[in-house]
Amino acid sequence: MIKKIVIIGPESTGKSTLCMQLAAYYKTIWVQEFAREYLLANSTAYTFSNLLEVAKGQIAQEEHAIQNIGAGPIFIDTDMYVMKVWCEFVFNDCHHWILNKIAKRPYDLYLLCDVDMPWVKDELREYPDLVTREKLYHHYKDIMVNQQVPWVNISGDYQLRLQQAITAVNTVL
Instruction: Please give the share of the chain, as a percent, with pLDDT higher than 70.
Output: 100
The rounded mean pLDDT for the chain is 95
Instruction: Tell me the mean pLDDT in the region 57-69.
Output: 95
CA nearest to 7, candidates 81, 108, 75, 107? 75
pLDDT at 120: 83
Q: Is the dihedral of CA 136, 139, 145, 148 positive or negative?
A: negative
CA nearest to 87, candidates 153, 20, 14, 136? 136
Say whether pLDDT at 92 is over 90: yes
Q: Which domains does the chain have, with CATH numbers?
A: 2-168 (3.40.50.300)
pLDDT at 1: 85
Q: Judge residue 109's burial from the number of C-beta atoms within 10 Å of its C-beta, 0-12 exposed, 13-18 middle, 19 or more buried.
A: buried
What whole-number distance in Å separates Cα of residue 155 and Cα of residue 152?
Answer: 10
What whole-number distance in Å separates Cα of residue 70 and Cα of residue 149?
Answer: 22
Tens-digit pLDDT profile for residues 136-169: 999 999 999 999 999 999 999 999 999 999 999 9
Say whether pLDDT at 123 is over 80: no
Instruction: Tell me the mean pLDDT in the region 31-41.
Output: 94
Instruction: Tell me the mean pLDDT in the region 95-103.
Output: 98
pLDDT at 121: 81
Instruction: Tell which wins on pLDDT, 16 or 71.
Output: 16
pLDDT at 126: 79
pLDDT at 125: 81
